[in-house]
Structure 1
Amino acid sequence: MRVKDLKKKSGKRIDTKYIQSLGIQSYGDDNLYPQTLRNIIAASSTGSECAERFANFIEGNGFREVTFSEYIVNRRGDTADDIHAFVCTDVGSHDGLALHVNYNVLGNIVELQYIPFENCRLLEEDENGYVAKIAVHPDWTGKKTRKGKAIQVNRDNIDYIDVFNPRKEVVLAQIEAAGGIEFYKGQILWVGGNGKYVYPVSRADRVVTEMSTDEGLANVKYRNVRCNFMPSGMIVTKRGISPVHLDEDGKPIEENKSSEDTGFSDTIIQLQGDTNAAKILEVTLESDEEKPEFVDISSKNYDKDFTVTDTSVVERIYSAFGQEPWYCIRIGKVGFSGDILEDAFEYYNSIVSKQQRMIERAFQKIFAHWYEPVNLSNDFSVQPLKYVRNATVSNSNR
């Protein structure tokens, strides 16, 4: 089928529109794309496992330059390695990062802070295609609270911070416009994997349907074990004739059977789930059967109905994250040995190299304008993860 014949069936992954009341470009139709995606990943056991491995390999063993990695970069005591770890999680989940920098009166960077990428939104472009500021809110869902009150999503609770531009004349002009260094909010280096000032599409986005299906399959398995009926059978016995009660006129009193509590509902609950398996249900009737009757009850196992779906969903999620070697190990297609794991580690380090270079360039841009030299080698590369055969070897192999 031709591409133009499919364009009506395939839409944009992220819908962006202008929210005039806030002066921002929405990140998704409801402006909650990263938050929604994060929840989808977290609800999928396979998706969260793959996303965590992806972020771990991006982080590697931290910066090669140990001295730089231990350098304190802000008043909170965070080191460069701490900021790097936070950023790698965002790059793994959202394919983007946001770093906040503060300047001194001389226009030099003196502080670096991490900002969660999902907290940032882009302002609308000007006539030159330039985005001047980044809008930052602690929770765009409006559910986060401070002093017991929700932080509403409005202009009063949003910080509009200048985008990263370390040229001294620009910084000094911004400080003067803010009314002095004490009122200056600094700048944000915002980087997205889809291009300059374009909301990125996460690697996980390509399998959001599969990850949601993975969550649904887990729910089916849960209900199959916890809520399914698993008694071994049912015994039906007869009940004796109830005595007839007469009123003052000698007329029989009709019993209100509809209001009679048989306790059957409670019995049903007691027969559900794994802890109540193989129990026998006894049902007493008012009819005149001469002997008890045993009725076999065969429970329905739904796991078999979803075996193919389960397998294909897991395979596609692993494939989307480029983790085929671990999938092959998982299903037993290849053996589990040190050589195979070493090859898997080497292979996946090549997969995450693009994300690592994006982070390296971001740190290099910032520390090129730091108020003092802290990385004389100018090496901001990351030491890749390696499979360690000997479990007794120290985790620190820098």
Structure 2
Amino acid sequence: MNVKRTKKPETRVDVRYLSSLGIKTYGADNLYPQTVRDIVESSPTGRTCVERRSTYIEGNGLFSQALSDCVCDTKGSTVDDVHHLCAEDMAYYDGFALHVNYNILGQIVSVAHVPFENCRLEEEDDDGVIGHVVVHPDWRGRKTRGGKAVKVGLETIEVFPVFNPSPEVVQSQIQAAGGIEFYKGQILYSTKAGRLTYPLPLVDVVLTDMSTDEGLSNVNNRNVRNNFLAAGMLVTKRGQSSGSDEEGSGSSDDGFTEEFEKLQGDTNSLNIMHAEIETDEDKPEFVPFKTNNYDKEFTATTASVTDNIYAAFNQETFGRLRKGSIGFTGELAADVKREYCEQVCKQQRMLSRAYRTIFSHWEPNAIPYTGAGDVAVEPLVKSIADHATPD
């Protein structure tokens, strides 16, 4: 079929201009990253894959343990804490944001993680330049402070210049702010899509599958918790005994002769319903019930959805290990982990480049930074060459 005749796909992320705040929206409702996280965290398979990706991107931390242990912001966070949060944002969004601040000399003195979903980009100027990143603690407007919701508006957003460590630029910004005590610093906004561009994260391609995965979990839950699981129904003539009391009089127990029992769910499964009738029956009749179990109805869908999610994250081998379709040995598991370490090398390099740019402009002698090797991310599983015995 000619490409012109194929059905046109919908735009994955609508970017519009929000004039009231001077920003480009991230999604038609400006809540694309928030929606992505909600969908991922509602999908058992999706969340497992994203958390594994985050773990591998984080690796064993930075190569310099001394640098990792340094406190790097006013809240007491260490470099390792910042790295952990950035790795999680990379796993979810393929992007991260860092806030940096300077001293009067234009030297960096602090770096802090900024949740990626809290950042929005300013509209381009006439020269196509984006000069600021706009931050709000909750673009949904649900977050509260002092018992009051932090609504989205000009009075609740913070506007930061984009990262530029040039001392001349920093000092001019300090002067424009009215002095170092009023200067709020800069935001380093980095994504796989390029500089100051909203990314289309890896998870986007399987958001539909993740939503289906959540629905399948709901069906399984309701099948167990709410399905009609009665063993059968005992039919007797009205007044005929269905059991004996303690004195053997044959009178019915009030609890047993209730017209309807609660017969739904796992805790009430295999109960017997008792029903009294008016017609003359010679003896009680037991009518067995055929219950419907919906587990098998969705077996193919469950397998397809799970496979699609694992494939999107390049974690097919983990999925096969989970299902037991390939043998499981310690050596095989190590090979699978080493292979996935290679899958996240690009994300680790993005983080390392950002750290190198920041720490190379840090206040001299304030932290134990000696060079680019300090901020390289150590893989979670070392390569075979790393384990080789030297000659």
- Residue in 1 that maps onto 2:98: 99
Q: How does 1:2-17 map to 2 (within 5 A)?
A: 2-6=2-6, 8-17=7-16
Match of 2:179 in 1: 180
Q: How does 1:205-354 map to 2 (within 5 A)?
A: 205-240=204-239, 264=259, 267-268=260-261, 270-354=262-346
Q: Is the 8 A contact 1:341 1:387 kept in 2?
A: no
TM-score computed with the length of structure 2 as normaliser = 0.90
CA distance in 2, matches of 1:328, 1:46: 13
Match of 1:377 in 2: 371
Give matches, 1:45-84, under 5 Å: 45-84=44-83
Report the counterpart of residue 386 of structure 2 in structure 1. none
Q: Helix, strand or coil for the counterpart of 2:372?
A: coil
Quote how far apart the aligned CAs of 1:263 are.
Answer: 6.0
1:367 aligns to 2:359 (yes or no): yes
**What CA distance in whole angstroms lies between the structure 2 residues aligned with 1:345 and 1:220?**
33
How far apart, CA to CA, are the structure 2 residues paired with 1:2 and 1:367?
A: 53
Instruction: Find the aligned partners of 1:331 and 1:311 in 2 and give their Cα distance.
Output: 10
Q: In 2 relative to 1, CA 301–106 (structure 1 residues): closer, same or farther, beyond 3 Å?
A: same
Aligned to 1:152, what secondary structure does the other structure show?
coil
TM-score by length of 1: 0.88
State the match for 2:201 in structure 1.
202
Give, in angstroms, the shift of residue 336 of structure 1.
1.1
Aligned sequence identity (%)? 50
What code does the residue aligned with 1:14 have? V
Q: How many residues align?
A: 364
Q: Deviation string for 1:159-200 (max 9, x for gaps)?
A: 011100111111111111111111111000001111121111
- In 2: Cα distance, 1:309 partner to 1:112 partner: 46
Q: In structure 2, how many angstroms separate the alpha carbons of the residues matched to 1:237 and 1:19?
A: 71
- In 1, the alpha carbon distance for the partners of 2:168 and 2:258 equals 81
The question of whether the paired residues in 2 share the 8 Å contact of 1:232 and 1:297 is answered with: yes
Matches of 1:115 and 1:152, distance apart in 2:
19
Partner secondary structure for residue 156 of structure 1: coil
Q: Is the 8 A contact 1:27 1:33 kept in 2?
A: yes
| 1:129 corresponds to | 128
Contact map agreement 1:122 1:133 (CA 8 A) in 2: yes
| Alignment RMSD (CA, Å) | 1.7
Query: What SS does the corresponding residue of 1:155 show, helix, strand or coil?
Result: coil
CA deviations 1:303-352 (Å, max 9, x no partner) are 11100000011111111111111111111121111111111111001100
The letter of the residue matching 2:275 is V
Q: Residue 170 of structure 1 aligns to a residue in which SS?
A: helix
Unaligned runs of 5+ in 2: 241-256, 384-391
**SS of 2:287's equivalent?**
strand
